[in-house]
């Protein structure tokens, strides 16, 4: 159960005083399963680092349907403020899908982080990796069938399939639970 500072080896890039200041902006806390951390429309959304458990971010469309944008198991960072941009309707909710231990980076922390002239390489590298995941997801959504996307999900996140309910997997894949059920039946029978 490593902390954000450990996970990204951020200490190595800072003077002890700076490190101290950063750490003072990080609050550790426990959240219960189902607890909502961030509601759509809240300003200055916080950022969360998951030490234990699993969070998710999702949007809700006009019909009330949830669309899961990402799962954040141990070691992941999750936030909604990536959407603070021109033409930005799609804001996100964040909640805990398991009882979790998290670190919360508040507004001051983010401001301080954003003011520093350079960004530690490991943080940047993490972002590049995340981008690759998003890129891949877009290409899959554009060119692959629901079956192919499901198989890709299973291969990419083998542990998640055991940890989250099917309806959430369906929501992540962009299909209905009924359609996922049909696909799983197909796989269980011959059609692999």
What is the contact surface with DNA in residues (CB under 7 A)? Answer: 63, 65, 145-147, 165-168, 174-185
Find out whether 179 and 146 touch, Cβ atoms under 8 Å.
Answer: yes
| Residue 55 contacts which entry, DNA, a copy of itself, none (Cβ below 5-8 A, type-dependent) | none
Question: Is position 35 an interface residue for a copy of itself (rule: CB under 8 A)?
Answer: no
CA distance 45 to 22: 18
**Least CB distance to DNA at residue 145 (A):** 4
Q: Is 42 in the site for a copy of itself (CB under 8 A)?
A: no
Closest CA to 67 of 146, 175, 182: 175
Q: Burial, 164: exposed, middle or buried (Cβ in 10 Å; 0-12, 13-18, 19+)?
A: buried
Residues touching a copy of itself, count (CB under 8 A): 43
Q: Which does 3 bind (CB under 5 to 8 A by kind): DNA, a copy of itself, none?
A: none
- Taking the complex as a whole, the smallest distance from the CB of residue 85 to a copy of itself amounts, in Å, to 5
User: What is the per-residue burial (b if ≥16 Cβ within 10 Å, else e) of 69-81?
Assistant: bbbbbbebbbbbb
Least distance from a copy of itself to the Cβ atom of residue 155, Å: 6
């Amino acid at each position: 159960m490593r902390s954000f500072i450990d996970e990204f080896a951020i200490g190595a890039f800072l003077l002890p005083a700076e490190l101290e200041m950063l750490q003072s902006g990080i609050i550790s806390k426990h959240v219960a399963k189902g607890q909502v951390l961030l509601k759509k429309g809240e300003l200055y959304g916080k950022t969360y680092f998951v030490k234990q458990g699993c969070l998710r971010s999702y949007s809700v469309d006009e019909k009330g349907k949830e669309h899961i944008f990402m799962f954040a198991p141990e070691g992941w960072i999750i936030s909604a403020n990536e959407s603070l941009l021109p033409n930005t309707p799609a804001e996100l909710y964040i909640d805990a899908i398991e009882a979790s231990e998290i670190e919360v980076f508040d507004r001051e922390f983010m401001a301080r982080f954003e003011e520093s002239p350079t960004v530690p390489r490991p943080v940047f590298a993490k972002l590049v990796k995340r981008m690759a995941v998003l890129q891949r997801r877009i290409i899959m959504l554009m060119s692959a069938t629901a079956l192919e996307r499901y198989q890709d999900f299973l291969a990419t996140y083998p542990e998640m399939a055991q940890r989250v309910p099917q309806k959430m997997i369906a929501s992540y894949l962009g299909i209905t639970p009924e359609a996922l059920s049909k696909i799983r039946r197909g796989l269980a029978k011959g059609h692999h």
